[in-house]
Structure 1
Amino acid sequence: MDVFTINEVRKTFINGEVKEEILKGINLSLKGGELTALVGASGSGKSTLLTIAAGLQPASDGQVIFEGEDMITMSPEQIRKIRASKFGFIFQFAHLVPFLTVEEQLMLMLDVSESKLKKHEQKTEVNEILRLVGMDHRKNASPSSLSGGEKQRVAIARAIIHKPKVLFADEPTASLDSKRSKDIMLLIKNLTKTLNITTLMVTHDEEMLSYADHIIKMSDGQVL
């Protein structure tokens, strides 16, 4: 079953008298338990498509259907609630809160997502997710004591702690060396399968494409 369906999505920017169409009628379907990679040159529209799908910016036209409802017609508050409770985000850099421990990073995310779990249940959930990403032994560590790969593992744990339906990954390995990149991609792929998440990833690194179930190449605002 499709979790996400993108129908004829267009994005146009107007700068004075200049009208630039960034996305030119994109159609895309995403299923649970699958990792889809968006690739293309800088300016191809892949990051714009990801941010529209994630509700971070509106489309100029078209439909973004999530769980049977069109996000284009939703209010900002409705979209905010979906992002907080049903979407997870991984970026190039981990962006961890410097004064919080690893455990506290995840507890904060549960608060943001308005988790219904009681405190002791939250701690149990945090321990389980940290075990899944191989960071349970570092739950009391501060971000400054973590390596780049460890920080990204914590960022991934934070992104999935609230059991999102969709995981958006924007260049998740760009700041890592080759070995750590492969480790992180294997982790993302395994979590996508294990937790039945719909993962949409933007990457420029062709070595990472072998981990994807689907590869979508974009050029000049269109799917090739």
Structure 2
Amino acid sequence: MGASGYGKSTLLTIAAGLQRASGGKVQFDGNNLTEMTQEEIRKIRARRFGFVFQSTHLVPFLTVEDQLMLMLDVAESKMNKREQKEEVAKVLKLVEMDHRKHAYPSSLSGGEKQRVAIARAIIHKPKILFADEPTASLDSKRSRDVMTLIRDLTKTLHITTLMVTHDEEMLPYADRSITMKDGLIV
């Protein structure tokens, strides 16, 4: 939690191994990410981390179903194609987007796009979900819906969520809140 420019997104990208820390360590699952190669970090990100951003970053020429299938490929899923399709159907049902599985991003509303982005972020059962202002581009009702979905899914699937936001209305959805100011945790 903190205002724009306070270092929240920088902290998130460092914790996720997307950006190198200028000092200190980043520990994940007994490993020090700061001592790992970029390829080792990439594999951890692909297999163990999920990401949801303010902008959904959906691939415009892929259907909703194909967005999730792509993530399973990136995560080097051990499931065969039939099992992957079944898992995609299950996760799309969880996020109430199973009826739009053949839709392309251009035909989806902002809330629907964010639901697909959340589904894509959890399809491979990550240990941590990193969420960077996931509701910033949504109206207040859709923001509440998305936060309820993230909270419920991560509790059900036992996924730790690290979210940054400047929106105090999102705090009730968190189990714990940490505030940043001027690049420091206060």
TM-score category of the 2 structures, normalised to the smaller one: over 0.9
**Alpha-carbon distance in 2 for matches of 1:222, 1:95:** 29
Where do residues 14-163 of structure 1 align in structure 2 (5 Å cutoff)?
A: 39-163=1-125
Match of 1:166 in 2: 128
Q: Which has the larger radius of gyration?
A: 1
Write out per-residue CA displacement over residues 125-177 of structure 1, whole angstroms, 9 at most, x where no aligned residue. Answer: 00000011111111111111111100100000001111100000000000000
**Alpha-carbon distance in 2 for matches of 1:112, 1:164:** 13
1:62 counterpart letter in structure 2: G
Match of 1:215 in 2: 177
Unaligned runs of 5+ in 1: 1-38
Unaligned runs of 5+ in 2: none
Partner of 2:99, secondary structure, is helix
**Alpha-carbon distance in 2 for matches of 1:211, 1:41:** 18
User: TM (normalized to structure 2)?
Assistant: 0.98
Partner of 1:63, secondary structure, is coil
Q: CA deviation at 1:43?
A: 2.1
Partner of 1:214, secondary structure, is coil
1:164 counterpart letter in structure 2: P
Cα RMSD after superposing both structures:
0.8
**Alpha-carbon distance in 2 for matches of 1:81, 1:204:** 30
1:220 counterpart letter in structure 2: D
**Alpha-carbon distance in 2 for matches of 1:183, 1:91:** 16
**Larger fraction in helix:** 2
The answer to whether 1:204 aligns with 2:166 is yes
Number of corresponding residues: 186
**Alpha-carbon distance in 2 for matches of 1:91, 1:184:** 12
Write out per-residue CA displacement over residues 53-96 of structure 1, whole angstroms, 9 at most, x where no aligned residue. Answer: 00001111111111111111111110000011100000001111
Partner of 1:196, secondary structure, is coil
Instruction: Report % sequence identity.
Output: 74
1:90 counterpart letter in structure 2: V
User: TM (normalized to structure 1)?
Assistant: 0.82
The answer to whether 1:186 aligns with 2:148 is yes
Partner of 2:41, secondary structure, is helix
**Larger fraction in strand:** 1
